[in-house]
Structure formats: C-alpha cells, structure tokens
Structure 1
Amino acid sequence: MKHAKLARGMKRDAALVALSANRSISEIAKFLKVSRSFVYRLKKDPSGFHNKKSSVPTKGKLSRKLKIPITQQCTKTAWELATHEVSLSWLPVDADRNVPANAIEAGSGLYVIRARQGRNTFPGKWSGKMPYASISYDGEEFKVTDFEVLCDTSIIGSMPRKTMKNASLTRGMKRHAVLVALRANRDAGEIEKFLRVSRSFVYRLKSVHKDSGKNKSSGPVTNRRSRYSEIQNDVPCKKMASEVATHEATLSWIPVDANWTVRLNAIEANPGFYVIRARQGLDTVPGKWSGNIPYASIPYGNKELKVTEFEVLCDSFFGKILPA
C-alpha cells in the first residue's frame, strides 16, 4: 500500500477526513499504518496538530485550523479512507423483525448479524423468519432478540427494488448484462436476484460464456452472441451491465490460510471478532473468529460448534483482496 510512503502531514489530513466520516480509530490506524494514539490525539484535539510552515489551509470542519499542503495523493488517500467500508452498515432489526433491504447473506438463507453478550459483541446468524437470532457464546448457542443485521448500504445496494429499472429492461438487454456480470466472475445467484431473471436463464448464458471464452479474439462479440451486438451500445444496457458487474464487488468470502492470519480488510463485528462462515451439513452458517487461532465458532444445533475450515468476510477494496 502506498499510504505508508505518505508524509505524516498527509496522513494527518487523511485521518481527519476519515474522522469526519465517522470512521473508527482502529480502522484508520490500520488503513494508514499509523499508531492508534496518533489518531486518538487527532480526534481529541484536531486543531492541536498543525504545520506552521505551511500556508495552504485544508478545508473541512475538523481541519479548519490545520495547515498542510494538499496534494493529489493526499486528497485521494483521504477520500479512499473516508469511503472505505462505508457501503456496509449494521442496522438494528425492527419491531416486526423484517429483513432489512440488502442484508448480507452468508448462504442457506442465513443472514449475518451481531449481538451484545456480556462485555463483547459477537457475529451470528438469523434466518429472517424467526423473532430471534443466534450467536455462539460460552459453549452454547444463545438466542437473542436485540441484534443488528449487516447490510449493503452503498448507492447500488440501497436502491429500492421498486425503483430499479432492471425489471423494465428488455430480455436482450438483461442477457447482455448477465454476460458482462459473468465476465466479472459474479455469482449466478447474485445475478439472478439483481436482474430479476431465472437461475436457468443465467446458467444457459454461463455455458455460452464458457464456449465463447475459447475464442481468443479481443474484437467485438462474435459467434453465439453476435445477434445481441445491436443492444450493446444501448445506454441503459451499458449502465445496467456496469451496475451488475460491480454490485457488491467490495465483499468477498476468503478461505482462511494455513497460518490462520487475519487479512487487513477482514470485516469485524466488534474489535477482535471477525465475521466468518462455515459449512455444516447442508447449511452455510455465519459465525465468529477471534483471529490467529486455528478454529472459528458457529452457532449450530444448540451448541457453540468449533470449525477449522471457514471463510472470512473481507472488503475487496476497489476489487483487490489485500494480503494478510
């Protein structure tokens, strides 16, 4: 990451922008590779840190008294940090126990949640059909009624389904959007939901996509898809194809490595507890992992079940998986 090479003043400005965007201290410290005390002092007294030699003031409520030179790299870093993971939110479940729009699903119809138990907050599971969720704690599966659901609150993710124009697209336009999404390695189930098409429709196009992959030409679409070339220049089609190709692209379930190391952008339900999912029987169940230990825990069968094979929910960060 280039952030480690940034001058201290540039990191200071980026941290101030991130604080104004309500980013957590630990997240800022990890992202900019600075100490927590550095971020904490900035949060406590943003006007106390300034460079008297510089005459170029920064803008913003928090940094109006801070004077450091503004560079393109500084602005870019500040913006990246301020928007980092902003597409994810923990939303409290309502009184009617309705599933929030664009809740993150671990699989098998189970949503990722977090709940308070004792002094800590743990990730867990919720079916969306019951008035309670479950977390693993102290060797047992605890039922909780007060919990928060992890949701995609990005611009695309927060668009009400009724207002989305996907349903009004022609079948040919959807077909092209599916093909673009398949090239971007999107999941068939995700494409089906986003474009409101049948799974068989996606799978048939997937076979076409595989066949066309044998053609190494970099020119326009040919062979089986040539009859759809007329719609490729359609503006709504291009926009839809781009949206479906990038939808939720910042989230990935990454298998834990052999050294049990925590990736830089693993999603935390609470500092020290990461969101994971593991296969158990026919279900894929979300759970918790404290990091750097050879097992995680999931609530299953009224017990806290320990698993050694699991995937960690990570922020891909502009399409890239950061290393451990």
Structure 2
Amino acid sequence: MNVITIEDYKSTYWPKLDGAIDQLLTQSPGDYIPISYEQIYSCVYKCVCQQHSEQMYSDLIKKITSHLERVSKELQASPPDLYIERFNIALGQYMGALQSIVPLFIYMNKFYIETKLNRDLKDDLIKLFTEHVAEKHIYSLMPLLLEAQSTPFQVTPSTMANIVKGLYTLRPEWVQMAPTLFSKFIPNILPPAVESELSEYAAQDQKLQRELIQNGFTRQVFFPFVTRYVHFLRRVWLGRGGLQGSEISVQLCENQRSRAQVGSSLSGELLKLGLILWKLLFAKWILKKGFLVGWAVRLGTLQSSSSFRPLIFGLNTWKNNVEIL
C-alpha cells in the first residue's frame, strides 16, 4: 500500500468522503444515491491503515455538526403548523443517513473510536443530533405534540409515533415531560396499575367514552349492537344458546362437551358482524378478550362457505394457540 501523507488525505481522500457524506445526509427516503460504497469503504480503510483515523474522525464530526446546525436553523424558521412535520422529516432523514454512514466508517469505529476513545460511532452521531437539534427544539416541540394529541388527525399517527419514539431514543428522560403521550407509543413507560387507582382508571374510560360520543360514536348506534352479539357468542361458546340448525361442538371445563345449534338464518347476521368488526378493527380487541376465538375456530362446517371467509381468515392465525376452558 502506498504511503498516504496528510496532504494526500486532505486533497484526495477526504474530499471523496465529504461528498458522499453530503449526499447521505440530504437524501430523501427511497432516493437512489449515485455513490460507490466500495470506493468510500476503501478510502476509509486506507486512511485508517495509514494512521489518519484521528483526523478523519475530527473531520467527520465537524462535517455532521455543521449540517445539523443548518437543520436547526431551518426548523427555527418553520411556522407552527409545519413544525412537527419538518422535525419528523429531519429526524427520519438523519437516522436514515446513519444507517449508511456508520457501516462506511466501520474500520475507523473498530480500530480508533472503540479502542482509543472507548465509545461507539453511532452513539456519538446520535448525541450530535441530540445536542444540536433536539435539545434546542424540545421545549417548542413538546407543547405542539400535546396540542396535536388532543386534536384528532391534526398530525398523522405515524408521524407522532416516529417523533415520540425518536425522542425516547435520543434521551429517555424526556418521558417525564409528557408521560401519557410517550406511553401511547412506548410500552411499560407508566407504572403498573394498582387497585387503589381503579376509580381513576374508570373515570378515564368514561372520559374516553364521552369523547367518542361527541365524535359521532353514539351508544344508540354502535355499542348495543356489539354488546348484543358478544353476549350471543358467549352463549353459543358455552353451549347455552338453545338454538337450532347446523351443529357446533363446544369444549367445556375438564373436556366436558355440550351441543349448541345455530340456524342457517343466522348466517347473514354473523357475516354482518364479522365484516363490521373487521372494518372497524374491533375484532382484534374482541379476540384479546377471548369472546370469539373458541367459537370461530370450531365452525368447521362453515369454513367452506365463501360468505364466512373474511371472518374465518382473520381468526385462523389464533387457531392453534387457543384453549377453551
């Protein structure tokens, strides 16, 4: 390998790395970047072997710091109605760039940053975003996030989730600024439920029901329908329906079995239930409660019917993991 002087590094090698980093930092998700990863990887390898790791690391940090300072200034100039979306774009763009930058500098990370600095390149670059962007905007961003949370569809759920998860990755202690907001996207943030706070939980549920009613989900239209069919399905499940028609086998406690009969006239009603629950994404909640699973997976005589396929298809995933007591 030819000797690489500091002048060679500055005039030949670093300009190649500088241009590649620029493109990676400014690319949009899904864009094609016309750079040779093999060439950039080779440049880093040669510079590390020629003892230019320290200079290269310093140049990389300065380069990315300068980029993040520009990003921060652009965010400061953003109007409130675009602030959240632009912060999400900046965060996603930077984190996406790190997925390419860190592997390109893997030799520098392994033989200089980890061994001599006892750090990790990815952690250092994430820290740069935290210090130069997130910390400067967190106190402007958080009130807007809380306001958007209280206004349905002001911000898309995916945008809200990306920002909240990103902030938690950057600095977990920011959870204390809005624990309820973070708990909606990150599990196990809030303390476990305790019996002494059951009344408070009930009050929160009642508040949610009032908000749903105010937004058009009235009890007269939706809730009695679901409740009526849930109780019907439970009776069928337990073999207490006293119904007539095609036979359904139901397994009870200690493998005792009873028979329930379902008339063919119920097919239309059951299909309507399945389609409505499917469209409203309510079936997932019902499945967790265990009301539908045992009933649906045992409708062997109905699985061949095309009218039941939308419902049966959604439930078959749980078929082999459900035990009815």
- Indicate whether the TM-score tops 0.5: no
**Greater relative contact order (CA < 8 Å, ≥ 6 in sequence):** 1
* TM-score, normalization by structure 1: 0.20
Task: Compare the two structures and name the one with the higher strand fraction.
Answer: 1
TM normalised by structure 2 equals 0.20
Greater helix content: 2
Larger Rg: 2
